[in-house]
Amino acid sequence: MEIVSIGLTVYFEDGFWHGLFEQEYEEIYQVCRATFGQEPKDNEILRFLQTQFVRLSFSTEATVKQHVQIKNLYSQKNVKLKI
């Protein structure tokens, strides 16, 4: 069975709200950033996904070597030191 993992992180930067879309399929990782402008409501994000997702331009493919879950800030610092 094929599994596609897709994530969305909405964040505020330089006066605008952005969405960082991430997708992973068969160990290929790609990202795309979209600008929303004003803070999007849940229904606006859903509408965006339904109407614009297929038009997003994702980055070139990158191979996923290791998937690390970071549980807290202390663990995050340890992971950064090991890289």
Per-residue pLDDT of the chain (83 residues; tens, 9 = 90+): 788 888 999 999 989 999 999 988 888 889 999 999 899 999 999 999 999 988 999 888 776 655 555 555 544 444 444 43
Burial of 54 (0-12, 13-18, 19+ CB in 10 A): exposed
Report pTM: 0.67
Q: How does 4-27 read in b/e, with b if 16+ C-beta sit within 10 Å?
A: eeeeeeeeeeeeeebbebebbeee
